[in-house]
Amino acid sequence: MIRVEGLTKVYRMDGVTVEALRGVDLTVAPREFVAVIGPSGSGKSTLMNIIGCLDVPTTGKYWLNGREVSLLSDNQLAEVRNRQIGFVFQSFNLLPRLSALENVERPLIYRGVGRKERLQRARAALERVGLEGRMLHKPTQLSGGQQQRVAIARALVGDPVLILADEPTGSLDSASGREVMSLLKELHAQGRTIMLITHDPEVARQAQRQVRIHDGRLVGDEGGKAS
């Protein structure tokens, strides 16, 4: 599913060179539930940006679903994000002006899906996360947990091969956090590949496999099928 080899990423900020990744090799099998755990500044966000096709590595190779994406152009990367990856962010990142339904529908607009099918799929995704009664609410009218469920519905609607969750429980109270985690576990049980990025060992423990990252290098890998 995911294979990265010798991934490095060097930033140059105000003349200072920062090595965010110093050679990461990682393979994630289909239907795995992986947590990438590490303290802040460990390079886990950079890794997630590269795996999420928001960024390209300085050196190294990345195959997603059998295709080498480290060679793709901006437009092709957008296409990959649209079709193969569903994002769940710590701060939800819903569009504030739009209703839950319109938010969930958005990725399908960029895919060029017709209006009727779009609405049908968006409704189904919202039902899947238990928000059938809140479809026309704006994000501000929803609780944090509900907003994160809208975001999960948005990640699901395009039927991606990979769901990337970046600290999905980070801004939630513990009850809502548990709700979101159990939703992710359900999705995993239904056969989706999920990659979770967190600094919280409690959250990471709920994943099937934990990958530890520190100073831009993988330093531990537990519970994986491969290892």
Partner 1 sequence: MNLLQAMRLALGAIWSNKLRSFLTMLGVIIGVFAVVALVSLGQGATSRVTEQVQGMGSNLITLNIRGRGPLSSLTYDEAMDLAARSGVRAVAPVVNGQVTVKYGNQSASTTLEGTTPDYPSVRSYNIEWGRFLAPVDIQNRQKVAVLGADVVETLFAGTNPLGREIRIDGTAFTVVGVLEKKGTSMGGSNDDKVIIPVSTAQRLLRDAGVRTVYIQAESPEAVNQVVAGLEAVMQRRFRDEDAYRVFNQAEILDTVSQVTGTLTLMLGGIAGISLLVGGIGIMNIMLVSVTERTREIGITKALGAKKRDILWQFLVESAVISSLGGLVGLLLGYGLVRTISKFTGLTAVFSPQVVAVAVLFSLFVGVFFGIYPANKAANLNPIEALRAE
Which residue is associated with the tokens 């009218």? Answer: 141
Question: How many residues belong to the site for partner 1 (CB under 8 A)?
Answer: 28
**Spatial distance between the Cα atoms of 90 and 97, rounded to a whole number of angstroms:** 19
**Spatial distance between the Cα atoms of 59 and 189, rounded to a whole number of angstroms:** 34
Among 9, 44, 149, 154, binds partner 1 (CB under 8 A): 154
Among 15, 66, 112, 133, binds partner 1 (CB under 8 A): 112
The least CB distance from residue 141 to partner 1, in Å, is 15
Instruction: Specify the stretch interacting with partner 1 by CB under 8 A; choose among 71-79, 141-149, 173-181, 198-206.
Output: 71-79
Q: SS3 string of 147-216?
A: HHHHHHHHHHHCCCCEEEEECCCCCCCHHHHHHHHHHHHHHHHCCCEEEEEECCHHHHHCCCEEEEEECC
Binding residues for partner 1 restricted to 41-60, rule: CB under 8 A: 49, 52, 54-55
Instruction: Specify the stretch interacting with partner 1 by CB under 8 A; choose among 34-42, 78-86, 127-135, 203-211.
Output: 78-86
Among 87, 149, 165, 212, binds partner 1 (CB under 8 A): 87
Beta carbons of 4 and 23 less than 8 angstroms apart:
no
**Spatial distance between the Cα atoms of 88 and 94, rounded to a whole number of angstroms:** 10
Instruction: Specify the stretch interacting with partner 1 by CB under 8 A; choose among 15-23, 25-33, 109-117, 123-131.
Output: 109-117
Among 1, 10, 78, 124, binds partner 1 (CB under 8 A): 78
Beta carbons of 208 and 196 less than 8 angstroms apart:
no
Instruction: Give the binding site for partner 1 (CB under 8 A).
Output: 49, 52, 54-55, 74-75, 78-83, 87, 89, 93-98, 106-107, 109-112, 154, 158
